[in-house]
Amino acid sequence: CHAGYRVHLANCYKAFNDRKSYVDAASVCRADGGRLATPRDKITNQFLITLKNNLDDSSWFWLGMDDRGREGSWRYIDGTRLGEFQPWAPGEPNQHGGNEDCGMFYQNPRNDWNDQDCSSKLYFICQM
């Protein structure tokens, strides 16, 4: 793993306490040789929850998923569809205000997924 990244299964992850829009956060991850984190199972999701909460347990963090291509058709940032594992917060994703197209983690103790306006400046997690 690169400096500052933590290994989990076959990937390396790093949480950043630098507030960026979804697109800008994705660019930081790409510059590091990775992408925004894409938790596809409960074990990885829990690892990322611990990682983000160790950095800041009261902030929201971008994940690598969006429905920018087609409303309601959520995909990971690598283009693959979300699978069975989708721990959205109750009532989410809800497209609140008509422009919530990017996925994020809520703060502790909720720690579940929410859709958010992609221009919001949030912390983020990269994966490589």
CA-based nearest residue to 47, from 15, 21, 25, 90 = 15
- What is the per-residue pLDDT for 89? 98
Dump pLDDT digits (tens) for 64-97.
Answer: 999 999 999 999 999 999 999 999 999 999 999 9
- What is the per-residue pLDDT for 7? 98
Model-level pTM? Answer: 0.96
What does DSSP say about strands 100-105 and 75-76: parallel, antiparallel, or unpaired? unpaired
For residues 88-97, b (16+ Cβ closer than 10 Å) or e, as one string? eeeebbeeee
Map tokens 């989410």 to a residue: 92
Given a contact cutoff of 8 angstroms between Cβ atoms, the answer to whether 55 and 111 are in contact is no
Residue 4 tokens read as 């500052």
Domains annotated for the chain, with CATH where assigned, are: 6-127 (3.10.100.10)
- What is the per-residue pLDDT for 57? 98
- What is the per-residue pLDDT for 79? 97
Dump pLDDT digits (tens) for 10-38.
Answer: 999 999 999 999 999 999 999 999 999 99
- What is the per-residue pLDDT for 80? 98
Q: How confident is the model at residue 43 (pLDDT cuts 50, 70, 90)?
A: very high
Cα 88 to Cα 115: distance, rounded to the nearest angstrom:
9
CA-based nearest residue to 59, from 88, 95, 20 = 20
